[in-house]
Structures are given as structure tokens and as C-alpha cells.
Amino acid sequence: MIGFMPEFYPDELVYSLLARYYQRSGYLAYIHAARDLYAVPSIRPDMYFINPMRDEAWELITRETGTDAVILEHTMVPAYARFLPVEARQETLQQMSRMEGRPYMMLKVTHRRQDRTRYLRYCPECAERDRELYGEAYWHRSAQIQGIDVCPEHGCYLCDSELVVSANTPPMLVTAEELIPQASGVVKCENEMQNRLAEYVLELFNSELEVDNPVTVGEFLHSRLHGTKYVSLRGEQRNITLLQRDFANFYETLPGNTFTRKQQSEDRFDTISGTNGLLGAADGAFLLTKAKRTANDAMLDIAGRDQQDQRLHLVRNTKTLLWEMESAETELWEEEPDPLLEEVARVALHSEQKKQKPIRLNWFLPAAHCLGIGPAPAQ
């Protein structure tokens, strides 16, 4: 039996609300609270989204604002849903309001294995302000947005709490007030680009999510690229290169260079699976790569013990079905395009492609930001 439910603070995560509820209710043990709140009491409370709740709990949580507002204003949904195609967006939100489906799968939230452990984060200055205003700190959504490390409001770095976002630790609800130290060290961010990017990302996060808007992010980006120097009737490749270069220059001053760092191996031969052993045992290797499966031009990279590394540009003769050499490179190879940038270019320049991969916040944003596009993609 749930006696009361606190009201949401602005930008507060559902997890935070439930933690405050648990802390104040005087349960003897967490499991008693879990039995009142969750459809499956042994579930690990989700920090970004919402676990299936018991009816009574869900009614109390949504009673003030309604279901949609809870999902859109108190979970991380806006960071992901706007990048889904319209049908998937509608379906996801419908399922979530019925507490069905798996949010991480529906919203395509990924966590790469090499990424560092994710903790619930906080801004020390926001916490201090919340304590003055509300008498307690709480977990903000905006501090959890991937890709930014700075509080846009206060221009200081966000801090990790001790709460790991996804871990095999026992289920628990912990309030921000319990974990955030009273006097956290505030470190101001002096990097202008980092501050600007954080502001831009937050503005997008908070902009209205148009659930029924059929325009995809790719179409939007494409439309905004039209008439710029990046899109012309011919020389598509050159435009992509230019876009990449401007992109890299734009973010040159960003620490850690999150968006322009090279993510792909410099050595094409690393793309051969199990390369170390394979290439070590061979005297040489020839690697033919094509930008697209259907492309008629290709690059032949040659490496070997007795010869200089080489790259040949080949074109397939569609009549004879033979590869013909167009040119050879002996100068330094050009750097590999960043896959992130390639993806931006792919979507921006080929929005007519039917099978688009979902476009993600973490690379749409920098592209749009760099191009001076407003922060509302679905408009």
C-alpha cells in the first residue's frame, strides 16, 4: 500500500522520484518498497527509463501530469526517440505508456563494450541550487545526456556519482541527496566549444518531441545541406571530403576531440580478421576495398616485405568485367575518413536511401551544430 507519492521536480528522473519516495516511506527493507512499486519486485530499478510498475504506483506517479508527460519530461526518451523513424517513434511511445516492450531496444540505446562505465551524474552547482530551492538534491535528466560533460547552465564539469547505471549490483533506490557531497568541488569549463556544444545539445534535448512528424533526421539534414557548398550536382566525393574537413576544423578545439577523433584503425590491413597472425605469416597482402558493395571503383592496398606499400585506384570495366588501373599513389596515404563523418555524409547526401540506420544523437548533433542548423531536427 502506497501512502503518498512525492511530486516531480523539474527535469527529475523517474528513478529519482521513486528513490525519494522510498527514502521517506519508512520501509524496513527495500524489498517491501519494490513490492509496492514494481510489477516484478526483484527488478533492478531503471535509471534512464521506467520499469513496469504496479497499477497503483503508476497511477500515483502519473496523476499530476499524465502518462505522456512523465515519459517525455522525466525519462531519457527525448534523447533517443526523435531520431527514430515516425512509425517506430509512435510505436515506442505507445508501448512505453502501456509499460510494455524494452525501452533500450526500442530506442536503440547502445553501450559499446569499450566505453567506460556509466554512472549517474550530477552538476555540483545544480545540486547546491536544488538544496536551496527544494531542500534536497535530486537526479537530473539533463546531466545524463551522452556526449556532453558540462552543465550548460553553470558551465562546470558534471561529476560521476557512485551509482553505476547498468550493473549487476543488487536492486536499490538511492537519492541524490544521500550521495552528492555537500561541498563538491566545482570545476569550471574554460573551453568555449565544449560549453557551446553542451548548450546546443541541451536545447535539442528540451525541444518538443514531435511524435507524429514524418520527417526523418536524415531528410532534415539533407534539406539543410541543399544549396550549400557541400552538395552539388556532381563531385559528391569532394563534397564529403569538404564536409569532413570543415567538421574536423570546427571541433578542433574540443578536448578529447570526441567527434573527430579517429575511430577506425589507420591500417586497412587491420580489417582482415585475425590480421596479426595472418599477415605475419604472409610475404605480402593485397586488399581490395570498395566504398559501396555496388561501386565500380575500388582501392587496392598492397603491403609486403619486398616492396613499398602502395595504393592503386581501380575502376571496373563493365563490359569486360575486368578491373583497370586508374592511378597509383606513392605519396603519403590520405587519412581514413572518420566513420562517424562518413555516416553523416552518407545520410546527409543520400537521404533517399530506404534502409537508413537510425540516426543518433551523438553524431547528428555535432554535424548539425557545425552546419549552423537549429536544434530541432524534426521540424
Contacts to Zn ion by CB under 5 A: 123, 125-126, 151, 153-154
Q: Which of 228, 128, 210 is nearest to 176 (CA)?
A: 128
Q: Which of 90, 50, 84, 79 is nearest to 67 (CA)?
A: 50
CB of 155 to Zn ion, least distance (A): 8
CB of 136 to Zn ion, least distance (A): 16
Q: Which of 360, 291, 307 is nearest to 299 (CA)?
A: 291
Q: Which residues contact 348 (CB under 8 A, 6 or more apart)?
A: 218, 221, 222, 225, 230, 231, 243, 367
CB of 125 to Zn ion, least distance (A): 4
The x, y and z cell numbers of residue 66, run together, are 499524465
Q: Which residues contact 40 (CB under 8 A, 6 or more apart)?
A: 51, 52
Nearer to Zn ion, 37 or 126 (CB): 126
Whether the CB-CB separation of 52 and 38 falls below 8 Å is answered with: yes
CB of 127 to Zn ion, least distance (A): 8
Whether the CB-CB separation of 113 and 166 falls below 8 Å is answered with: no
Task: Look at the block and give the residue holding cell 526483484.
Answer: 42
Residues 213 and 82: their CA atoms lie apart, in Å, by 9
Nearer to Zn ion, 81 or 151 (CB): 151
Nearer to Zn ion, 44 or 154 (CB): 154
Nearer to Zn ion, 79 or 156 (CB): 156
Nearer to Zn ion, 125 or 342 (CB): 125
Whether the CB-CB separation of 119 and 162 falls below 8 Å is answered with: yes
Nearer to Zn ion, 62 or 161 (CB): 161
CB of 143 to Zn ion, least distance (A): 8
Q: What spatial distance separates the first Cα and last Cα of the chain, rounded to whole Å?
A: 44
CB of 79 to Zn ion, least distance (A): 18
Nearer to Zn ion, 126 or 279 (CB): 126
Q: Which residues contact 130 (CB under 8 A, 6 or more apart)?
A: 9, 136, 137, 138
CB of 26 to Zn ion, least distance (A): 31
